[in-house]
Chain A
Amino acid sequence: MDFRFTDEQTMIFETAASFLAEVSGSADVRKNILTDAGFSDHAWQQVCESMYWQAILIPEAYGGLALGYVEAIGILEQMGERLFQSPYTTSAVLSTTLIERLGTDAQQERLFQSLLNGKIATVAYTTARPDWTVASLSVRAEETSESVVLQGECCFVAHAHRADIIIVAAMSSADTTSDDISCYWLESTAPGMSIEHTPSLDQTQPLGRISFDSVVIPAGQRLGGLGQAGSVFTDVLDLARIASAADLVGVAQRSLDMSVDYAKERVQFGRAIASFQSIKHKAADMMLKVESARSLLYYAACVADEWLAGRAASNALAEASAMVKVSAAEAAFFNAGTGIQIHGGVGITEEYDIQLYFKRARAGENYLGSPAIQREVIARQLLDLG
C-alpha cells in the first residue's frame, strides 16, 4: 500500500504539465472552439507522435506502452486544468480499454495499429435521455452468420464527427438485459451511418449524434462474444467515469487557482479582496472539495489498475467509480461556480476563462451519469444488496 506516485509517474506528469501549458493556453482553446473539429489537429498529432500518450493503455504486444490508469488519470488531470481539447478520453481510454478487453488478437492488432498512428475512435451507446448505463442502449443488432445489421440512433457521442472508428454497443434482442449486449466496431465511412455534430453548452468537448439506418457490417467486426459484452461494457464505463473525474479534478483545481490569483490582485476598499474572510473561506472550501476529490481519484485509479489485473471485483470498481464521479463533478461545479462569484462582474464576461471552466464542469457532471445517478449506485450497494 503506497499512496505516492513513483518517480517515473511524477516525471510523466511534469512533462505533461509543460507540454499542455504550451499547446493549450487560453488563446489556443479559444481558437479551437471556432474550428470544425473543436480541437487542434496539430496538438493531437503532437500527443500521438511526441508524447505517445495514445499508447499508454495499449498492450506492449501491439506496440503500446502498457502503463496503467494511475498514469492516465495523472495526465487527464493536467488536461482538465488546461481545458485541453482532444478525443483523448474517448479514444485512448474508453475505446482502447474496450478493444483490449473484447477484441481478438487480429482485431487488437488492426485497431491498435490505427490508434497508434493517430486515428481517433469513439464509443456510441446512449439514447437521447440516458441514465448512462447499459439500460440506455438504443441500437439494435440483427446478426446472421456473415453479417450484422445495425439500426438505431446514439446521442452524446464524444467527438463523433471527427472519429475514424466507431465502437457501438447494441442489443441483440428486444429486452435490454446485459446478457444480450454485443459490441461492434465500424469505420466512420460505413454506408448507412450518418454522423452529425450536435453543438453543445460546453464549447471545449464536442458531442455528436450517430444514426444507424440498416448499416450492414461483417460479423467479424463484433468485439467479444455475441450477447456477451454487457458486463465488460458496464465495467469499462466505470473506468471511463474515473477518467472523466480526473479531468474534472483538473477543472476544479484550475478554477481554484485562477480565482485565488484574481482575488489577490483585485483591490476594493483599499485592500486585495483576498484579504476578506468571506473570500478566504470560499477559497478554503474550494480547496477542501478538490483535495477530497483528488484523494478519491487516486484510490479509484488504483482500483482500476487492480481490475485490469484481474484482482478487483466489478462491484469494487463500480463503487470507486461512482464515488469519484460524484466527488469530482461536485468539486468542479462548486469551484467553477464559486470562482465566477469571486471574479465578480468579470466572471460572467466572455473574456475571462472561468466561464469556460464552468461550462466544462457542467458537461462533466452530466457525462456518463450525474451525481444523483452515481449516489444511487452507492445506495443500491449499501441498502438493497446483502
Chain B
Amino acid sequence: MQIRFTPEDERFRQQVADWLAEHLAGEFAPIRFRGGPGDEHSFLDERKAWECRLASGGWTCIGWPEKWGGKNATIEQQVIFNEEYARAGGPGRVGHIGETLVGPTLLAFGSEAQCQQYLPEIKSGAALWCQGYSEPSAGSDLANVRTKAVFDEGAQQWRVSGQKVWTSLAHESHYVFVLARTDTASVGHRGLGFFLMAMDQPGITVRPIPQLTGTAEFNEVFFDDAICSAGDIVGLPGEGWQVAMGLLGFERGVSTLGQQMLFQTELDEIIRIAKENGAASDPHLRQRIAEAHIGLRTLRYNSLRMLSGGNDAGLGREAMIYKLSWSSWHRNLGKLAMDVLGPEAELIEAAPYELNRLQSLFLFSRADTIYGGTNQIQRNIIAERALGMPREARGTK
C-alpha cells in the first residue's frame, strides 16, 4: 500500500497537463470550470465541440481497450487524467454517460456487432447518450418498470411503449438505453430487456421538467411504438436486470474522481468567499469548512480503495457506501455555501430566476440524495447486502 506514483505515471501526468493547457484555451476558455452538477445546462454547444476536441487528442475513453480506440490506461493513469482534467478546469463532460456507463456495459455484456456499431461514435465524441431507467411508478422500486418491448417478427424490430422520467439531457442526446419489459406477464426484475435506441424517431417525445432551479436538465421521455432493431437488445430478453445492474456498478468507477474534482472547485469557491467576507473568522463556520474538506478527502480515498480493488462491477463495502457518502456530503456543501455567503445568498443574479453557481448548488444538491437510489434505499442496500440484515418485506402488488 502506497500513495506515490511511478516516474512513468508522472510523465503521463505531464503529457495530460500539457495537452490540456494547450487546448483548453482560446474558444474553449469560457467553458473552464463550467457544466458541473447543477450547471449541466450551460454552454452545451461549446461543451459538445470540446468533447470532439478531446477525442481528436485521444483523451476520450482512455480506459477502454486499444481495439476500441482506448489507451487501455491503467487505473493510476485514469486517476491522473481525472486529476489533471479537473486541475485544468475541464468542463463537465457531456459524453460521460456514453464513456463511463454505456461503453463498459457493452464491453461486458454486449455483442461484437453492438460494440462495432456504438463504441466508435462514443469514442469520437459524436454520440451522446441518456438513461432510460426510472418511470413514474418505478422510482426507488426500479424493478417495477412497466414500459413494454414487443418483438415484431415481420419487421424484425422491437416496438417499445411507455414512459421514462428524470432522464438527464434527453433533449441533447442521440441515443437512450432503455429498461423495458419483454415478458408482459412478468413482474419485478424478471422478464426485462435492455435496449439501445435512437432518440431521433417519431415514436419518442421529450418533455423537459422545470426544476426548483428554474432550469430543466431532467426530462420525461414518452415511447409510443418507438423502434429499435432485433440486434439492439443487450443480453437476452429476460436478462435486462442483470445488465442494468452491471451498468450501475460502473457508475462507481474512475468517473467518481472527476466528480470529486468538480466538488473541489465548489469547495474552493466557498473558501475563497469565506476569506473575503469574514466568514473565515467565525469559529462555527471554520469547523464546518474543515469538516467539508475532510469529507471530500474521504470521498477521494474511498474511491482509491474502490479502484485498487479492481476495475470490475463488483460491490465492495467501500463501493456500497459511495453514493450515500457523496450525496450527503454534497447536499451539506450546498447548505454550507449559503451559510458562508450569509444574507447575500438571498439575492439572485437577475429576474426572472437567474442563480449564481452556489445558489444552484444549494438547490440542486437536494436532488443528489434522491436520484440514483435515495439515501434510504442506499441504507437498505448496505444493511441487506453488506451487513446481512433481513430484506424489506415486499407488497403483493
A309 (CB) vs chain B CBs: closest residue? B4
A335 interfacial by beta-carbon distance below 8 Å? no
B113 interfacial by beta-carbon distance below 8 Å? no
* Choice from A3, A372, A382 contacting B308 with Cβ under 8 Å: A3
* Cα A295 to Cα B300 with chains together (Å): 9
Among A85-130, those with CB < 8 Å from B are: none
* Choice from B286, B305, B379 contacting A3 with Cβ under 8 Å: B305
Cβ–Cβ < 8 Å partners of B290 in chain A: 326, 375-379, 382
A287 interfacial by beta-carbon distance below 8 Å? yes
10 chain-A/chain-B pairs, Cβ below 8 angstroms = A1-B4, A5-B1, A274-B390, A280-B387, A284-B324, A295-B304, A299-B297, A305-B2, A306-B3, A306-B4
| A299 in contact with B293 given A1-B9, A287-B387, A288-B325 (CB within 8 Å) | no
Residues B271 and A280 in contact, CB atoms below 8 Å apart: no
Q: Mark B271-311, 1 if CB is under 8 A from A, else 0.
A: 10011000010000011011101100110011011011100
Q: Mark B205-238, 1 if CB is under 8 A from A, else 0.
A: 0000000000000000000000000000000000
Residues B2 and A1 in contact, CB atoms below 8 Å apart: yes
B392 interfacial by beta-carbon distance below 8 Å? yes
Least distance between B391 CB and chain A CB atoms (Å): 8
Cβ–Cβ < 8 Å partners of B388 in chain A: 260, 264
* Cα A377 to Cα B297 with chains together (Å): 15
Least distance between B330 CB and chain A CB atoms (Å): 15
B192 interfacial by beta-carbon distance below 8 Å? no
Cβ–Cβ < 8 Å partners of A311 in chain B: 4
* Cα A197 to Cα B280 with chains together (Å): 42
Cβ–Cβ < 8 Å partners of A138 in chain B: none
B residues near A, CB below 8 A? 1-5, 9, 76, 79, 271, 274-275, 280, 286-287, 289-291, 293-294, 297-298, 301-302, 304-305, 307-309, 317-318, 320-321, 324-325, 376, 378-380, 382-384, 386-390, 392
Least distance between B388 CB and chain A CB atoms (Å): 8
Cβ–Cβ < 8 Å partners of B302 in chain A: 291-292, 295
Least distance between B338 CB and chain A CB atoms (Å): 18
A141 interfacial by beta-carbon distance below 8 Å? no
A302 interfacial by beta-carbon distance below 8 Å? yes
Residues A292 and B308 in contact, CB atoms below 8 Å apart: no
B75 (CB) vs chain A CBs: closest residue? A1
Least distance between B167 CB and chain A CB atoms (Å): 28
Among A239-290, those with CB < 8 Å from B are: 256, 260, 263-264, 271-272, 274-275, 277, 279-281, 283-285, 287-288
Top 3 A-B residue pairs of the complex, sorted by shortest distance between their CB atoms: A280-B383, A3-B308, A284-B379
Cβ–Cβ < 8 Å partners of A377 in chain B: 290
> How many residues does chain A have at the interface if contact means C-beta atoms less than 8 Å apart?
50
B389 (CB) vs chain A CBs: closest residue? A274
Q: In terms of DSSP, what is the predominant structure of the interface of chain A? A: helix
Cβ–Cβ < 8 Å partners of A326 in chain B: 290-291, 294
A288 (CB) vs chain B CBs: closest residue? B321
A301 interfacial by beta-carbon distance below 8 Å? yes
Residues B1 and A296 in contact, CB atoms below 8 Å apart: no
Residues B1 and A4 in contact, CB atoms below 8 Å apart: yes
* Cα A376 to Cα B308 with chains together (Å): 31
Residues A296 and B383 in contact, CB atoms below 8 Å apart: no
A183 interfacial by beta-carbon distance below 8 Å? no
Residues A382 and B293 in contact, CB atoms below 8 Å apart: yes
* Cα A383 to Cα B267 with chains together (Å): 12
Cβ–Cβ < 8 Å partners of B304 in chain A: 1, 3, 295, 299
Residues A375 and B76 in contact, CB atoms below 8 Å apart: no
| A291 in contact with B317 given A3-B308, A280-B380 (CB within 8 Å) | yes
A285 (CB) vs chain B CBs: closest residue? B379
A54 interfacial by beta-carbon distance below 8 Å? no
Residues A383 and B76 in contact, CB atoms below 8 Å apart: no
* Cα A298 to Cα B318 with chains together (Å): 13
* Cα A267 to Cα B117 with chains together (Å): 56
* Choice from B2, B293, B298, B379 contacting A378 with Cβ under 8 Å: B293
A6 interfacial by beta-carbon distance below 8 Å? yes
* Cα A66 to Cα B309 with chains together (Å): 27
Cβ–Cβ < 8 Å partners of A305 in chain B: 2
* Cα A347 to Cα B9 with chains together (Å): 51
* Cα A272 to Cα B275 with chains together (Å): 52
Residues B280 and A383 in contact, CB atoms below 8 Å apart: yes
Least distance between B397 CB and chain A CB atoms (Å): 20
Residues B76 and A1 in contact, CB atoms below 8 Å apart: yes
Cβ–Cβ < 8 Å partners of B287 in chain A: 372, 375-376, 379
Among B2, B302, B320: residue with most chain A CB under 10 A: B2
Least distance between A254 CB and chain B CB atoms (Å): 14
* Choice from B76, B274, B324 contacting A288 with Cβ under 8 Å: B324
B308 (CB) vs chain A CBs: closest residue? A3
A259 (CB) vs chain B CBs: closest residue? B387
Cβ–Cβ < 8 Å partners of A284 in chain B: 324, 378-380, 382-383, 387
Cβ–Cβ < 8 Å partners of A306 in chain B: 2-4
